Amino acid sequence: MKIDKIKVYSFHVRGKTEWLVLEIESDNGLIGLSELTTSNYLKTSQLIETLSAQLKKILALELCNDQQIKEILEKNERPPNEDFILATTLSGIRSACSDIFSKTRSLSLNDYLTDIFSLSKCSSKPIPLYANINRSMLPDDDGPTDRSPETFKNRAQNATEDGFLFIKCAPFDQYPDSFYKSEKFIDEGLKRVSSIVKVLKNSQKLLIDCHSKFNLKTSIKVESLLFEKGVSWFEEPMNPKKNSSELIEIKKSIQGNLVGGEEFYGVNEFVKLYKTKALDILMPDIKYCGGVEEAIKIGMELNKLSSNSFSIHCPSGPISLLGSAHVTSALNTKLPLEHAVYEVPDRKQFIIPEEKIINGEYCLPGGLGLGVKLNLDKPHKLILNI
């Protein structure tokens, strides 16, 4: 296939959050979708510039598979693992093209991935999710929201009532600078954790994302206190890209699982990260790791090392979650997939057919490729049209 048309849509969610969706149309009229959302919305213009430059490399070419696209886009570029905007761009292009490739073969995306990577036939069962309540407490259109322990407890209670067995939060975020200088944020964050623990049942688990708020000493101290509260998922107390040696020391000293790796690109980086014993569970994000096919390669390689070392990172929009669900389904992954809950009440309506999540599990749509189209009746901006 050849790329015929390119569009990028921006859907406002809440506060500074927007979902960016890439839509590629092939010369035979097939549509491929992927998500380009990053946490740094100030760099959207840079992202669009990089995307336009990368697409020029392949616009006139007959595209056959993901490996071909990967080789063309990465040629003469700095390593994508060193440039987050480039990694996001390449991942988005590759995922959208994979959506088209699966439609060309009249297959759903998960069946296409299963077929080309010779995986065991994927299960038709719904995919277990864990509820990330973080984004529901970020500033909304009216400004900062309440982040008291009571609010954390209420969000967790909502997730419990909606059938989620795993709940993730970031209890150490968004305190005044003085709290970080005095380390008061640790005690305050633990109060939020304690409030959630009170509403969990025996079968439910709490996952903690630290967003690199700690150093070596405080990481070990806080993990011990969290483990006492039943928390065995300790995510990125320090940045894996900057502090791998410290993470190796932390991993030696803690009882729970050390988790992270959401901003790495390429299968080799993830395997290296695991083999250096810096992390127990790796979290590739299809928006940054190289796309859906690269995520499959990462999952396959990590599963050779441990069947519990792979869980996709996905605190984003419906297109990202859907692509991640197809990957999770194709790999028959044991660990649950991340889902950002309660961020916006009409989330499921941004795609057609609507996103379907029942009792904390994702139900894949039928149809070819991803199986959905964008609902352009939702307010949006067209920020790229080629």
Nearest to 4 by CA among 61, 42, 67: 61
Q: Are residues 172 and 290 in the same domain?
A: yes
Say what the pLDDT of residue 41 is. Answer: 65
Nearest to 155 by CA among 106, 206, 225: 206
pLDDT in tens, 35-68: 999 876 668 999 999 999 999 999 999 999 999 9
Residues 222 and 237 sit within 8 Å (Cβ to Cβ)? yes
Distant-in-sequence, close-in-space partners of 39: CB < 8 Å, separation ≥ 6: none
pLDDT in tens, 322-346: 999 999 999 999 999 999 999 999 9
Say what the pLDDT of residue 307 is. Answer: 86
Residues 281 and 308 sit within 8 Å (Cβ to Cβ)? yes
Nearest to 172 by CA among 161, 188, 157, 158: 188
The rounded distance, in Å, linking the Cα atoms of 278 and 134 is 25
Q: Are residues 351 and 380 in the same domain?
A: no
User: What range defines the domain where residue 351 resides?
Assistant: 127-370
Residue 190: in which H helix or E strand, if any?
helix 184-197
Q: Are residues 150 and 78 in the same domain?
A: no
Assign 183 a pLDDT band (cuts: 50, 70, 90). Answer: very high
pLDDT in tens, 129-144: 999 999 999 999 999 9
CATH number for position 92: 3.30.390.10
pLDDT in tens, 220-262: 999 999 999 999 999 999 999 999 999 999 999 999 999 999 9
Q: What are the φ and ψ backbone dihedral angles of 92, each rounded to 5 degrees?
A: -65, -45
Say what the pLDDT of residue 353 is. Answer: 98
Distant-in-sequence, close-in-space partners of 241: CB < 8 Å, separation ≥ 6: 263, 264
Say what the pLDDT of residue 202 is. Answer: 81
Q: Is residue 115 part of a domain?
A: no
Q: Are residues 189 and 307 in the same domain?
A: yes
Q: Is residue 99 part of a domain?
A: yes
* Cα separations in angstroms, 70 against 56, 58, 80, 84, 182: 14, 10, 11, 16, 46
Q: Are residues 239 and 381 in the same domain?
A: no
Q: Are residues 270 and 359 in the same domain?
A: yes
Q: Are residues 134 and 51 in the same domain?
A: no
Helix, strand or coil for residue 237? coil
Q: Is residue 120 part of a domain?
A: no
Q: Is residue 114 part of a domain?
A: no
Q: Is residue 122 over pLDDT 80?
A: no
pTM of the predicted protein model: 0.97
Residues 262 and 284 sit within 8 Å (Cβ to Cβ)? yes
Q: Are residues 199 and 230 in the same domain?
A: yes
> How far, in whole angstroms, is CA 161 from its chain's centroid?
24
Give the type of residue at 188. E
Q: Are residues 381 and 363 in the same domain?
A: no
Q: Is residue 119 part of a domain?
A: no
Number of domains in the chain: 2
Question: What does R_g of the chain's alpha carbons equal in angstroms?
Answer: 20
Say what the pLDDT of residue 24 is. Answer: 98
Q: Is residue 31 part of a domain?
A: yes
Q: Is residue 122 part of a domain?
A: no
Say what the pLDDT of residue 43 is. Answer: 86
Q: Are residues 141 and 11 in the same domain?
A: no
CATH number for position 222: 3.20.20.120
The rounded distance, in Å, linking the Cα atoms of 80 and 244 is 18
Here the tokens at position 155 are: 């969000």
Q: Are residues 225 and 308 in the same domain?
A: yes
Q: Is residue 204 part of a domain?
A: yes
Name the β-bridge partners of 108.
Answer: 369
Q: Are residues 318 and 228 in the same domain?
A: yes
Distant-in-sequence, close-in-space partners of 192: CB < 8 Å, separation ≥ 6: 147, 149, 152, 169, 171
